[in-house]
Structure 1
């Protein structure tokens, strides 16, 4: 009776371990997807900023323009808005670089986890 209990207990621990591995692997996958999604959003914002800067650059500095700030449309001049757009664009680019580095580090960590635990990802 004790042999049966010991073997079923070992199987229970092995199954729990497999379940924990699946949960951890899913967490890695979810984190990677979230970072990739945020990078995609920021790349779209970067493209929008680039387009607006390209459009506004040849315009006279005293030309009136409108900018949406926290849901409020405000009237400004090209001279006021263009530097702010360029600063925002640089900030977005830096954030993308940081998130990309974070993604690579997390991906490397995930690959090491997979290798350590002999996990193979099934292709769909």
Structure 2
């Protein structure tokens, strides 16, 4: 796990994103339609070994290799690595940003918490969130 987190920290930029939306996203307030697995949505129970799930399969190969090694090592202690978020399409990231704008009241405030599609390490395949486990 440390290797994977260290990898992300080295690859991630420490600068805050600017609040701009990709051209593929609908304007604020206009729904695009449901986003699914092909956009990076992760169903429950997905592990770092689920290559059929784009959120896992489209991760940077070095990151994925480090995650799988950490998961294999952790399995000796009975811990499993479940993926709660991994690679995301630009459209999916834009949806997160639009939701943050609605929650925080402005694009500038939302950008403090949610990266844009052009700055998100998730869109680049350089970030993964491990959740709902002892890992």
Q: Do both share a fold (TM > 0.5)?
A: no
Greater helix proportion? 1
Say which structure, 1 or 2, has more relative contact order (CA 8 Å, 6+ apart): 2
* TM-score class, shorter: under 0.3
Greater strand proportion? 1
TM-score, normalising length: structure 2:
0.22
